[in-house]
Structure 1
Amino acid sequence: MTVYGVGLGPGEAELVTVRGKRVLDSVETVYSPGRLSRTVAREYVPESKLGDLDFPMTRDPEKLRSAWREAASVVAETAADGDVAFVTLGDPNVYSTFGHLRRTLSAFHPAVDVEVVPGVSAMTAFATALGVEIEAGTGLSLREAADGAAPTGPDRLILFKVTDAETTHEKLTDAGYDVQYGRRLFMEQGETVVTSDPTDVAERDYYTLAYAEKQGVDRDVATAKFEEESA
């Protein structure tokens, strides 16, 4: 049978894809790694179909490997009797817990088929929420910025896991960037914030992103406006 990794999008139930909904309808069991993904999944499947898996928030490699192996064992056993889904916020292939499950299934349960159903990533939803166009030909870097980190270099960056916005902001502005922040965008849980003031998102929150753009960056955007023809 098949284990489906289903991307639920950034957290708003209406942003689940049509294919994702179809898979959730069809499987026998839907596993969730956390409260937020479970909340979205409940919009589409009954509580009786939902199962929980433990993915601890720790950097201890032994604890992590043990948790991944246990989760893979549970999922593989269930998949022996019917198709199952593992849901995750965003996209299963982009900084997702699903990657740990997929690699562990491949290592210890290679007979289990795995299929990914893409979802709307928080990063692309973030650009929409800010009204930022990443135009064709633009260089854009995606980086993690936890605990005050502030990667620099490219003209434009989307940073995620911004858990110390004030420190990150100071470093980025010193490096010549303009910065905007978004918190819990397109999410039905918690307060949505869009701001250029880091103090508005000073409280530590895993679901905070930043868009940084170098001051004075050149833009060459094609438009439908043409120079008037000379008489």
Structure 2
Amino acid sequence: MTLYGVGLGPGDAGLVTVRGREVLEAADVVYSPGRLSRTVATEYVPESRIGDVDFPMTRDEEELRRAWKEAAAEIAPQAREGTVAFVTLGDPNVYSTFGHLRRTLAAFHPDVELETVPGVSAVSAFTTTLGVEIRAGSSLTLHEANGDLPTEPDQLVLFKVTDAPATHEQLVDAGYEVWYGRRLYMEQGETVVTDDPDELAERDYYTLAYAEKPDAGAEPATAAFETDVAGQTPTEVSSR
């Protein structure tokens, strides 16, 4: 049988894909690593078919490895006998807890079949909310907001901005303009979109930042028309 890693999208149950919903409704058991993903899953799965696994929010590598191994040991027997789903907010392959589970299963339970069901990522939710276009030819980097941040790309999307004022100072010093989004499309907690880091002084794991260098790259091409001096057929031009 199969273990499905199902992306639930950013937190709004209406943004779960059709394929994701089909897998959830057919699964014998659906494992959730946290309260928010569980809340979304219960829109499609009764509580009686949801199991919990512990993925602690810590940087202690020993504790994390123990938790991943225990989760894999819990899930593997179920996946050998039936259809199992592991749900995660966003997309299973983008900054997701499912990656830890997949690697642990490959190491200790390599016979378990895996399939990924993509979901709407936090990046898509963020760019949609801000009206940001990631244009062709742009240099875009995804990065966690900890340690030294890259300063070369035209555009940055930062995950897990838990210290917005410190992140803001570092990015502005590097020449970026910065906007923030917190709990976008989530049904729990307050949604905030702002360019003021002081509004986000309270730490929240579900905060992203978008940073852009104002003069980086060419303006996007647009279709415009002008009539030549002879009054002949308009000529399409690209404005930059």
* Structure 2 length-normalised TM: 0.92
d(CA) in 1 for partners of 2:68, 2:226: 60
Q: Secondary structure at the match of 1:106?
A: helix
Superposed, which structure 2 residues align to 1:201-216 within 5 Å?
201-216=200-215
d(CA) in 1 for partners of 2:16, 2:156: 26
Alignment CA distance shift 1:70-1:222 (3 Å): same
Cα distance, 1:18 vs structure 2: 0.4
| Count of paired positions | 230
Could you tell me which residue of structure 2 aligns to residue 53 of structure 1?
A: 53
d(CA) in 1 for partners of 2:2, 2:51: 16
Q: Deviation digits for residues 13-40 of structure 1, max 9, x if unmatched?
A: 1110000000001110000000010010
Report the AA paired with residue 207 of structure 1: Y
d(CA) in 1 for partners of 2:151, 2:219: 22
d(CA) in 2 for partners of 1:113, 1:100: 16
Q: Contact conserved, 2:160 with 2:205, CA < 8 A, in 1? A: yes
d(CA) in 2 for partners of 1:211, 1:177: 9
Cα distance, 1:83 vs structure 2: 0.6
Report the AA paired with residue 27 of structure 2: V
* Structure 1 length-normalised TM: 0.95
Could you tell me which residue of structure 1 aligns to residue 13 of structure 2?
A: 13
Could you tell me which residue of structure 2 aligns to residue 4 of structure 1?
A: 4
Could you tell me which residue of structure 2 aligns to residue 92 of structure 1?
A: 92
Q: Secondary structure at the match of 1:80?
A: helix
d(CA) in 2 for partners of 1:228, 1:35: 60
Q: Secondary structure at the match of 2:70?
A: helix
d(CA) in 1 for partners of 2:170, 2:80: 51
- Gapped runs of 5+ residues in structure 1? none
Could you tell me which residue of structure 1 aligns to residue 77 of structure 2?
A: 77
Percentage of pairs with the same residue: 70
Q: Contact conserved, 1:146 with 1:160, CA < 8 A, in 2? A: no
Superposed, which structure 2 residues align to 1:1-231 within 5 Å?
1-146=1-146, 150-230=149-229, 231=231
Q: Contact conserved, 1:184 with 1:208, CA < 8 A, in 2? A: yes
Q: Which moved more, 1:27-36 or 1:214-223?
A: 214-223
Q: Secondary structure at the match of 2:199?
A: helix
d(CA) in 1 for partners of 2:168, 2:227: 43
